[in-house]
Amino acid sequence: MSEPLITLEHVQRTFDVKGQTITAVNDVNLEIPAGEVLCLVGESGCGKTTTGKMIAGLLPVSYGRILFRGQDIAALAPAERKSYRLGVQMVHQDPYASLNPVQTIADILAAPLQHHRFTRGEAETRKRMRELLEIVDLTPPDDYLDKYPHQLSGGQRQRVSVARALTVNPAFIVADEAVSMVDVSIRISLLKMFTRLKDEMGVGVLLITHDLALAKYFAWEGRIGVMYLGRLVEIGPARQVVGHPQHPYTQVLLSAIPEADPDVTRAKPRIALRSTDVPSLLRLPTGCTFHPRCPAFAGEVCAREVPALKRAGWGSDVACHLAQAHEP
């Protein structure tokens, strides 16, 4: 197998909040091959966005390393630094905050094209901008170039954000809840656009989302990673994680989500938690952080030892003391 595009080694991130230290991301290990589609799912505070920002280079790691094409991103030579900086881009969640309100779409797209000399001269820049807008389905492009962000709908703005990321020919895009603030009726077309970027241009995508059904749809050919209180608790092929969840937390999550079909959703078996209290990041439980709520709690070992992420069958890696028992 070729070298992964991005590797996370024991990545940890802490924040100081009012004199106390919270660990937002704890010992995350992950390899992302080039051109892969990966979804990170979890509830708020699970560390999925922090992980995404560290991969995008917007936050330094507190401990551990992130490698881009085998090189630690914290210690890159200038030429490599540039290839990483442009190679990994991010699309933010809020379409109303991610575009500078005082710039036209043409201003927004021209800046990176000209600054990095991807295009020379007005005519070439405009031609490239048109191509980019066509890639993100904003057609005819001339209708959009001279508009300001506030003249576009939320979905259209997200497409502009993607076009802006594509100006620098990235190898990887971190999409942080990139469709969750967009109307339901147009989310799928945005996801299809990301899929096309992967298929046609080989751009890998990390979609960070709280919506497991969306993750299943988007990452069907790729992987889903589930995070809980800063740790990666399960990761595997999407259809396995959704169809045969191994970690009790994934199982609880899947059983809790309502479905958009009255018969299916009402007949769904629900798994009850041992406790509905969400532990504070300031006082994380010992051992497996899910043990106080875990329906499969197996006693002392869960409360004492942090389970390592291990292969547990069906191609999934699971961090649970009980997972080995599921080996087929």
Partner 1 sequence: MQAIGDFLSGLWRESVKTLKILSRNKMGLFGFILIVLIVLLSFVGPFIWPPETSANVTEINQGASAQHWLGTDFQGQDNLRKIINGGKDIVLIAVITGVLSMLIAVVVGSFSAFVGGWVDSLLMELVNIWLTIPKFPLLAVLATVLALKDVVTLSVLMAVLEWPALARQVRSQVLSLKNRDYVEAAVMLDLGTPRIIFRELLPNMMSFVAISTIFAMTHAIYQQTGLVFLGIVPYSSANWGVMISAAERRGVLFNPQAAWSILAPMAAIVIFQLALVSFARSLDEVFNPRLRTSV
Partner 2 sequence: MARPTLSVRDLSIAYRARRGQVQAVRGISFDIERGEALALIGESGSGKTTVGLGLMHLLPATARIVDGSATYHRPANGSDATAREIEVLGLKGDALRRFRWGECAMVFQSALNALNPVLRISEHFADTARAHGYLSASGQSNALRERSMDLLSRVRLDPERVWRSFPHELSGGMRQRVLIALALLLEPQLLILDEPTTALDILTQRSIMDVLKELRSQLGFSMLFISHDLALAAELADRVATMYAGRIIEIGDVRTIFQNPYHPYTIGLIKAVPTLAGDKEDLTSVPGSPPDLIDLPTGCKFHPRCPLADARCRSDEMDQTEAAPGHQVACWRWPDARDVLKSFQVK
- Residue ranges in contact with partner 2 by CB under 8 A: 43-44, 137, 153, 155-156, 183-190, 192, 210, 212-214, 216-217, 220, 239, 242, 252-254, 256-266, 270, 273, 276-278
Whole-angstrom distance, CA of residue 177 vs CA of residue 191: 11
Q: 163 and 190 in contact (C-beta within 8 Å)?
A: no
Q: In DSSP terms, which residues pair with 9 in a beta bridge?
A: 65
Q: At what angle do helices 154-166 and 184-201 cross, to 10 degrees?
A: 20
Which residue, 221 or 327, has its beta carbon nearer to partner 2? 221
Q: Tell me whether residue 65 or residue 147 sits nearer to partner 1 (CB atom).
A: 147
Nearer to partner 1 among residue 160 and residue 215 (C-beta): 160
Q: Which is nearer to partner 1, 47 or 170 (CB)?
A: 170
Please say which residue, 2 or 275, places its beta carbon nearer to partner 2: 275
DSSP-assigned letters across all residues of 120-147: -HHHHHHHHHHHHHHHTT--STHHHHT-
- Minimum CB–partner distance for residue 15 and partner 1 (Å): 14
Q: What share of the chain is helix, strand, coil (3-state, %, to 5)?
A: 35, 20, 40
Q: Which runs of consecutive H residues, i.e. helices, occur in 247-299?
A: 248-256, 262-267
Pairing outcome for strands 310-311 and 88-91: unpaired
227 binds, among partner 1, partner 2, none (CB under 5 to 8 A by kind): none
Give the shortest CB-8-to-partner 1 separation in angstroms. Answer: 18
Contact partner at residue 277 from partner 2, partner 1, none, CB < 5 to 8 Å by partner kind: partner 2
Rounded to whole angstroms, the maximal C-alpha distance in the chain is 69
**Helix, strand, or coil (residue 206):** strand
Which positions lie near partner 1, rule CB under 8 A?
56-58, 82, 85-86, 88-90, 92-94, 97-103, 111-112, 115-116, 147-148, 150-151, 161, 164-165, 167-168
Report helix angle 121-135 to 105-115, nearest 10: 120
Residue 281 Cβ vs partner 1, minimum distance, rounded to whole Å:
21
User: Shortest distance, CB of residue 32 to partner 1, whole angstroms?
Assistant: 17
Q: Which does 57 bind (CB under 5 to 8 A by kind): partner 2, partner 1, none?
A: partner 1
- Going by C-alpha positions, the residue among 4, 48, 14, 8 that lies closest to residue 231 is 48
Residue 286 binds which of partner 2, partner 1, none (CB < 5-8 A, kind-dependent): none
CB of 178: closest distance to partner 1 in angstroms? 11
- How far apart are CB 242 and partner 2 at their closest, in Å? 6
Cβ burial 285-300 (10 Å sphere, 16+ → b, else e): bebbbbbbbbebbeee
Q: Pick between residue 99 and residue 171 the one whose CB is nearest to partner 2.
A: 99
CB of 76 to partner 1, least distance (A): 13
Decide which of partner 2, partner 1, none touches 155; Cβ closer than 5 to 8 Å per partner kind: partner 2
